Amino acid sequence: MPPAIHPVDLLRVLRHQRLTPAIVFLTSRRACDEAIGSFEHRQLPIPPTRSSAITDVLDHMIAEYPSIADHPLIPTVQRYGVAAHHAGHLPSWKIAVEELMRQGCLDAVFATTTLAAGVDFPARTVVITQSSVRKDRDIVELTVNEIQQLAGRGGRRGKDYVGFVVVTPSPYIDLGPIANGLTNHPEPIDSQFVVSYPMVLNLLKAHSIDHIQPILEKSFAQFQLNQRTDAYETKLDDVEAQLETYGQRECADWIAQWQSFSLAKKRRSHHRRKTQHDPPEISAQLAFLTPGRAVELSKDYAIVLRQYRSRGQGAPMLTVIRSSGRIVEYPASAVTAVIDEVIDVTEARRFPWCTPQSLEHAVTTLEQFPARLRRLPIRVDPNGADNPILTETLMDEFPCPTCPSRPACQKDHPQALKLRQEEHRLTKTIHALRTELWHRFQQHIEVLQKFGYLTPACQLTSEGDWARLIRINHSLLITELIRMGAFEGISASLLAGVLASIAHDDDRPASFAGRQQALISTLGQVRKIAHSLSAYEEPPLLRLDVAAIVDRWIAEPTLPWSELIHATTMAEGDIYRLLARTLEYLSQLHGLRSTHPGLADIARDAMDLMRRDVLQELP
Amino acid sequence: MTNDTLANQLAGLSVRLLHRLAKNRVPRHFRMGKNRLIQTLLSLSPEQQADLETHLSSLLQAHPRVPQPPKHGKGDKPKHEPNVVSRPALPPQPSVPAKPAISLQALLEGIGVPPPQSFKPDDWQQEAIDRLTTNDVILSVPTGSGKTYVAIEAMRRAIKADRMVIYTSPLKALSNTKLTEFSQTFGADQVGILTGDRRDNPQAPILIMTTEILRNLLYDAASGEIDMRLDTLGLIILDESQFLADRERGVVWEETIIFCPAQARLLLLSASIGNPDEIAAWISSIRSESCHLIQHRNRSVLLRAAYLDPGGKLAPFFRTRDIARGRGFALHPETKRLFANYEEQTLSPRSKR
Ligand SMILES: Nc1ncnc2c1ncn2[C@@H]1O[C@H](COP(=O)(O)OP(=O)(O)OP(=O)(O)O)[C@@H](O)[C@H]1O
Ligand SMILES: [Mg+2]
């Protein structure tokens, strides 16, 4: 049995059962093109009247979009009534295919599953051939939302009594996920809020720093965080109610009092046994190194899972989880800084000392940590509270031994202490959730201050005032390049080439012949700067080949589109998108004309030279 | 390791990691879903299994448990796998096995083109249009239901009241389609389009743009330097608003909604999502008027599912003719048989050439 049905056989069955027109979703662009190509070998032509209807529509489209006149797929479309529609094609071609489909001229369109959102036309039937898709190097299952988006194209309102989803196997299919996707409720969606430099600059342009927090609180991110907070608050209320039940004791904070008293007791006996004691800066830290605490160990962050004493020396030790996911033991002295972050960790009695959920939570938290976190200042008591003699005198200061509440305290303490710790942890978690976005905003403020876009009072400097107009990815790199004068006196084509390599974030391989020296050395400089900024902003790919394509398109204003696409292995649609994106970046530089007239002029020139041929057809 | 512990550990892995484990061990692993991957991995020979366990422990070290996507992390994608665990394994237990399975003939009954009918808006369409005069509206209905009709009628009302309308879509390609569509409805002079580098007819009462461009306009307006007439803006339509959950671009939808001028009404058009009520509650909490949710899951055209064997044989996909919603599923016995047969033939080592 073949691993998948032949496209021609597929169409034959669909036609026979009156299931056309159909949209056939395939795994890759290549699969779509090959499917179309295969019709040439297995004749299944449509009647001449239909062919001529297709020709009429196409003629109409060509009049509007001349670039499709010589499209290599046109003969196939006319003869067999099928077409391919994917991101490798020019937008004008896709519009033509959509129009043909809308007019009912086609029997089948072969499209990629990944660009389902761009397939904005219905059909009687949708053919699904896969249950998983390749995303960045991994294979992931389609979500319910995705499957319903695909299936939803089946059945045209007003043109069909009934629509169909036809599932046909390929090497990428399992029926379970598809059946589930067709029948289950769609997944809820979550906020993907991120703070960016342009966001910070633009908000601070319009609002003073005091007004920022209320604005961030309006986000869907905060709305969802608040819902989590509400759950924690209910828990906190519950814990506090339990604590209430212990009633009044002699002293106000009996739990803390009893805790220090029993600690002091323990310490005294401990010091009798052991001569060695901790240096004051360590013992000051120890109180903070509880499970869930974030710490800095040399250059990396870690989260404490437990604190214990080494068997032999009695030295304070920590078990931590590092961002690599490894669980490691360290002496407490290895901690270079205590971070002002405590995450929720449910302790466990055995390795890894907490629940798997907590471990997972710790790793994700570590992965999310920004490059710099707030440290917790720790005050070291110069008198050294660990001095055994001092402990003795401290003992005298505790009222506990003779207190009337003593029996009750002794009995209730273990449970009460747990509740109190839970209370602290919940309070901290709630605080963290409430201020998370604000923290991230502040981190961005610090970077912008460091680079001189913001004053210490969080107002825009003259640099910040124009930099806020660069509202694209890699904005920090671009504004830094401008400030360094990297674009001064640059040619229009080189400027566009550099911006293209900053804008292009696809690592799909491609090749392009004809690179030039100027581009190589400029990109080398840009790469250095991008690297130096990598702590603050992810460096772009800076591909030379895409820079060279754009550079050539501008440097040779008479170069026809067909020649440009022949010089590279990149698909036509990808080149179009690359150029369109570069135009967008250039127009942002052009927006700086009041502060950087020279640069704006170069950008203008580049844009004028770029907009020709195919790039003029659509807005 | 006992089979049970192994099974448990495997169940705790993401599908992504399971595929990694299955690579070079299970032929055509990429076609399998989670449950079947686990089953297949558990049925490997003892030697292979020992090797698998070593690989598994190294994977577990590199990815201690399944690192769940951090909610607001930058470098990760929103992976939704909540159904993985609850999904019934293949073959699923039919929830109501009483009724006989549908025949192919019955499945294919009634295909055809209905006679043209005079257009009559659905109740939910009318409700959305009416609500928009006083409230923000979020419309979460299946693909192809007729959200555009609501958009067009809302535009018509806004223009009549001398208000400007901004319509955004996530993709330039969709913007172009809408430009054509709206120009046909309202006349070319009534519709303009703004892109990063081009402005066509920017004085028109209806402006089409991508959501990023609108966000930028709103930032310019906030800092008081705007050459647009945002004070006459009466309506903002955000099409395909499920993009709110897009990993890279979702934040732009949030910014746009937060900074949407108070006097303008918001209309969010969205495909079916799991929590439109949550989004409506959020918008209500930050805007002066409450956001009205209009939601339904009923498709306007019936949808049925079929299975097509590579040999050309067609069968009903489910036991029932219509696709049941939210009540589990039962595959058609014929489809089960055909697929099992397909699996056997394409997965067995013999067929691997
Ligand atoms: N009340 C109605 N009666 C009959 N047909 C309708 C009605 N409303 C809309 N339609 C038709 O339904 C079809 C689909 O409409 P539309 O494109 O607006 O769907 P949509 O909800 O925007 O889908 P998508 O999720 O693909 O964006 C159109 O052809 C439209 O003419
Ligand atoms: Mg629509």
Q: Are strands A138-141 and A125-128 parallel, antiparallel or unpaired?
A: unpaired
Whether the CB of A608 is below 8 Å from some CB of chain B: the reply is no
Tell me which DSSP letter residue B331 carries.
Answer: B
B-chain residue closest to A163, CA distance: B303
Residues B165 and B258 in one domain: yes
Q: What one-character-per-residue DSSP string does A353-377 give?
A: SB-HHHHHHHHHHHHH--S--PBPP
Residues B188 and B332 in one domain: no
Give the residue, out of B122, B126, B240, B300, with the most ligand 1 atoms within 8 A of its beta carbon, to mutate for a pocket test.
Answer: B300
In a domain, A257, yes or no: no
Q: What is the mean pLDDT of residues A49-62?
A: 95
Residues A228 and A340 in one domain: no
Residues B287 and B149 in one domain: yes
Pocket of ligand 1 (CB under 6 A): A 120, 157-158; B 119, 121-122, 125, 143-149, 271
Residues B71 and B5 in one domain: yes
Torsion on CA atoms A192, A193, A197, A201, rounded to nearest 10:
150
> Taking 70 as the threshold, does the pLDDT of residue B155 lie above it?
yes
User: How would residue A381 be classed by pLDDT, with cut points 50, 70 and 90?
Assistant: low
Domain's final residue, options A351, A385, A419: A385
When mean pLDDT is compared across A200-209, A566-575, B204-213, the lowest value belongs to: A566-575
For ligand 1, atom 22: residue with the closest CA: B147
Domain count across chain A: 4
Residues B195 and B225 in one domain: yes
> Measured between CA atoms, how close is B45 to chain A, in angstroms?
23
In a domain, A92, yes or no: yes
Are B69 and B76 within 8 A, CB to CB? yes
Tell me which DSSP letter residue B76 carries.
Answer: -
Distance separating alpha carbons of residues B147 and B133, to the nearest angstrom? 17
Of B75, B176, B286, which has the smallest distance from its Cβ to A618's Cβ? Answer: B176
- How many Cβ atoms from other residues are within 10 Å of residue B64's Cβ? 19
In a domain, B92, yes or no: no
Q: Which two tokens stand for residue B339?
A: 């697929």
Residues A213 and A223 in one domain: yes
Residues A520 and A543 in one domain: yes
Residues A169 and A24 in one domain: yes
Domain's final residue, options B262, B295, B328: B295
> Taking 50 as the threshold, does the pLDDT of residue B72 lie above it?
no
Residues A24 and A65 in one domain: yes
Q: What is the mean pLDDT of residues A189-203?
A: 96
Distance separating alpha carbons of residues A607 and B7, to the nearest angstrom? 59
Interface of B with A in 36-55 (CB under 8 A): 36
Residues A179 and A221 in one domain: no
**pLDDT given at position B89:** 43
Domain's final residue, options B269, B295, B321: B295
What's the CATH code of the domain at A364? 2.40.30
Are A162 and B301 within 8 A, CB to CB? yes
Give the residue, out of B140, B147, B181, with the most ligand 1 atoms within 8 A of its beta carbon, to mutate for a pocket test.
Answer: B147
Residues 6+ away with beta carbon under 8 Å from B223: A202, A205, A206
Whether the CB of B115 is below 8 Å from some CB of chain A: the reply is no
Interface of B with A in 275-334 (CB under 8 A): 275, 278-279, 281-282, 285-286, 297, 299-312, 314, 317-318, 323-329, 331
Is B281's CB within 8 Å of A223's CB?
A: yes
The DSSP bridge partners found for residue B266 are B236
> Measured between CA atoms, how close is B331 to chain A, in angstroms?
8
Q: Which helix (H) or strand (E) holds A587?
A: helix A572-590
Residues A346 and A425 in one domain: no
Long-range contacts of B4-11 (CB under 8 A, 24+ apart): B6/B42, B6/B49, B6/B53, B6/B56, B7/B38, B7/B42, B9/B56, B9/B60, B10/B37, B10/B38, B10/B41, B10/B42, B10/B56, B11/B38, B11/B85
Interface of A with B in 451-480 (CB under 8 A): 468, 471
pLDDT tens digits along A325-370: 888 888 888 888 888 788 888 888 888 888 888 888 888 888 888 7
**pLDDT given at position B212:** 95
Q: What is the mean pLDDT of residues A252-268?
A: 79
Distance separating alpha carbons of residues A13 and B310, to the nearest angstrom? 11
> Taking 50 as the threshold, does the pLDDT of residue B73 lie above it?
no
CA atoms A285, A289, A293, A298: torsion sign: positive
**pLDDT given at position B352:** 43
Q: Which two tokens stand for residue B166?
A: 């901004």
Residues A474 and A447 in one domain: no
Q: What is the mean pLDDT of residues A572-594?
A: 95
Is B303's CB within 8 Å of A155's CB?
A: yes
Is B19's CB within 8 Å of A138's CB?
A: yes
Q: Quick one: three-class SS letters along A282-347?
A: HHHHHCCCCCCEEEEECCEEEEEEEEEECCCCCCEEEEEEECCCCEEEEEHHHEEEEEEEECCCCE
Residues A59 and A176 in one domain: yes
Give the residue, out of B119, B137, B141, B149, with the most ligand 1 atoms within 8 A of its beta carbon, to mutate for a pocket test.
Answer: B149
The domain containing residue B32 runs over which residues? 1-82
Domain's final residue, options A162, A183, A204: A183
> Taking 50 as the threshold, does the pLDDT of residue A500 lie above it?
yes
**pLDDT given at position B77:** 40
User: How would residue B81 be classed by pLDDT, with cut points 50, 70 and 90?
Assistant: very low
Of A169, A193, A583, which has the smallest distance from its Cβ to B342's Cβ? Answer: A169
Residue whose C-alpha is closest to residue B325's, from B272, B268, B271, B270: B272
Residue whose C-alpha is closest to residue A46's, from A121, A124, A104, A89: A104
User: How would residue A189 be classed by pLDDT, with cut points 50, 70 and 90?
Assistant: very high
When mean pLDDT is compared across A80-89, A211-220, A330-339, the lowest value belongs to: A330-339
CA atoms A569, A574, A578, A580: torsion sign: positive
Torsion on CA atoms A465, A471, A474, A480, rounded to nearest 10:
-20
What's the CATH code of the domain at A98? 3.40.50.300
Instruction: Identify all chain A residues contacting B281, using CB atoms and an 8 Å cutoff.
Output: 223
pLDDT tens digits along A455-492: 999 999 999 999 999 999 999 999 999 999 999 999 99
Q: What are the C-alpha distances in Å from A526 to residues A136, A481, A487, A544?
A: 26, 8, 10, 12
In a domain, B118, yes or no: no
Residue whose C-alpha is closest to residue A285's, from A333, A320, A322, A328: A333
Residues A77 and A126 in one domain: yes
- How many Cβ atoms from other residues are within 10 Å of residue B60's Cβ? 16
Q: Which two tokens stand for residue A549?
A: 């394509």
Residues B4 and B149 in one domain: no
Domain's final residue, options B295, B322, B337: B295
Residues B132 and B249 in one domain: yes
Q: Are strands A327-331 and B191-194 parallel, antiparallel or unpaired?
A: unpaired
In a domain, A72, yes or no: yes
In a domain, A587, yes or no: yes
Whether the CB of A7 is below 8 Å from some CB of chain B: the reply is no
CA angle B126, B127, B132 (to 5 degrees): 100
Distance B299 CA to ligand 1 centre (A): 11
CA angle A361, A366, A370 (to 5 degrees): 135
pLDDT tens digits along B98-147: 688 999 999 999 999 999 999 999 999 999 999 999 999 999 999 889 99
Distance A156 CA to ligand 1 centre (A): 8
pLDDT tens digits along B178-228: 999 999 999 999 999 998 888 899 999 999 999 999 999 999 988 877 656
Distance A518 CA to ligand 2 centre (A): 46
In a domain, B329, yes or no: yes
**pLDDT given at position B14:** 76
Distance separating alpha carbons of residues A193 and A541, to the nearest angstrom? 23
**pLDDT given at position A400:** 79
ipTM metric: 0.78
Q: Which two tokens stand for residue B222?
A: 């906030």
Are A105 and A142 within 8 A, CB to CB? no
**pLDDT given at position B215:** 96
Is B302's CB within 8 Å of A161's CB?
A: yes
Residues B144 and B163 in one domain: yes
Domain's final residue, options A138, A167, A183: A183
Whether the CB of B91 is below 8 Å from some CB of chain A: the reply is no
In a domain, A2, yes or no: no
User: How would residue A138 be classed by pLDDT, with cut points 50, 70 and 90?
Assistant: confident
pLDDT tens digits along A99-120: 999 999 999 999 998 766 667 7
Are A111 and A122 within 8 A, CB to CB? no
* B92 against A72, higher pLDDT: A72
Place of tokens 């007019």: A103
The domain containing residue A67 runs over which residues? 7-183
* Half-sphere exposure in the Cβ direction for A483 (13 Å, CA): 17
Is B301's CB within 8 Å of A155's CB?
A: yes
What sections of chain B are H helices per DSSP? 3-11, 15-22, 34-42, 46-62, 82-86, 104-107, 123-131, 147-160, 172-186, 211-222, 250-259, 276-286, 333-347
**pLDDT given at position B78:** 41
Give the residue, out of A146, A157, A159, with the most ligand 1 atoms within 8 A of its beta carbon, to mutate for a pocket test.
Answer: A157
**pLDDT given at position B141:** 93
Q: Are strands A335-342 and A22-26 parallel, antiparallel or unpaired?
A: unpaired
Q: Which one of B9, B80, B102, B240 would you mutate to disrupt binding with A, by most A Cβ within 10 Å of its Cβ?
A: B80
Is B308's CB within 8 Å of A13's CB?
A: yes
Number of helices (H) and strands (E), helices first, in chain B?
Answer: 13, 10
Distance separating alpha carbons of residues A143 and A419, to the nearest angstrom? 41
> Taking 70 as the threshold, does the pLDDT of residue A534 lie above it?
yes
**pLDDT given at position A276:** 54
What's the CATH code of the domain at B260? 3.40.50.300
Distance separating alpha carbons of residues A394 and A387, to the nearest angstrom? 10
Residues B75 and B128 in one domain: no
Residues A482 and A450 in one domain: no
Ligand that lies nearest to the alpha carbon of residue A154, given by its number in the listed order:
1
B-chain residue closest to A203, CA distance: B219
Is A325's CB within 8 Å of B61's CB?
A: yes
Q: Going along A47-136, which residue ranges are E strands?
A: 82-85, 108-112, 125-128, 132-135
Place of tokens 């580049």: A606
Residues A215 and A313 in one domain: no
A-chain residue closest to B246, CA distance: A192
Q: What are the C-alpha distances in Å from B11 to residues A410, B7, B38?
A: 45, 6, 7
Residues B291 and B323 in one domain: no
Interface of B with A in 131-190 (CB under 8 A): 142-146, 170-177, 179
Distance separating alpha carbons of residues A123 and A108, to the nearest angstrom? 9
> Taking 90 as the threshold, does the pLDDT of residue B33 lie above it?
no
**Chains A & B: contacts with CB separation below 8 Å:** 365
> Measured between CA atoms, how close is B161 to chain A, in angstroms?
28
How high does pLDDT run on average in chain A? Answer: 88
Q: What is the mean pLDDT of residues A43-47?
A: 83
Residues B5 and B71 in one domain: yes
**pLDDT given at position B95:** 54
- How many Cβ atoms from other residues are within 10 Å of residue A473's Cβ? 18
Whether the CB of A312 is below 8 Å from some CB of chain B: the reply is no
In a domain, B347, yes or no: yes
Give the type of residue at B17.
L
Residues B155 and B290 in one domain: yes
Domain count across chain B: 3
Distance separating alpha carbons of residues B65 and B179, to the nearest angstrom? 49
In a domain, B117, yes or no: no
Ligand that lies nearest to the alpha carbon of residue B116, given by its number in the listed order:
1
Of chain A, the end-to-end C-alpha distance in Å amounts to: 48
- How many Cβ atoms from other residues are within 10 Å of residue A555's Cβ? 17
**pLDDT given at position A202:** 97
